Amino acid sequence: PSGWKPMVRHSYLAVAITWLVGCFISLPFLFFNVLDNSPFQNISLPFNPFTDHFICMERWPSEHKRLAYTTSLLLFQYCLPLILILVCYLRIFLRLRRRKYMVERTRDNRQKKAKGSKRINAMLASIVAVFTVCWLP
């Protein structure tokens, strides 16, 4: 409540930047993916059902470039958002903890707040854990 309050145009700007970065990061897929039917040509079956099938394959100029691109995808699409989420939720946690100690209430209110803060802390930790587990594969 006492921090920075984004305006609507900040939201539009954030969405636009996210889309631009996403499109830019995906450009190598456009250049290095080709349709190919060669994996199906070496199948030795009496009746080959895959003769007219094509698959999309990555053909990079070198293995080093493919590895560099894959590593940059891991960093920008997993590690960086994970660090950002951890920092944001850690700041929320610290702000709530500091606020809890600043507010003097009756004993009943403190017990209710302690239960509520435990639930909030569990929710914050579970959001980070779910992001970590779901996006890594």
**pLDDT tens, residue order, the chain (137 aa):** 566 777 889 999 999 999 998 899 999 989 999 888 776 666 666 666 666 778 888 899 999 999 999 999 999 889 998 999 999 889 888 888 777 766 645 445 555 555 567 788 888 889 889 988 998 87
Please choose, from the candidates 65, 79, 86, the residue with its C-alpha nearest in 3D space to the C-alpha of residue 129: 86
One domain, residues 96 and 116 = yes
Question: What domain range is 80 assigned to?
Answer: 62-136
One domain, residues 131 and 72 = yes
Q: CB burial class (10 A; 0-12, 13-18, 19+) of residue 114?
A: exposed
One domain, residues 11 and 48 = yes
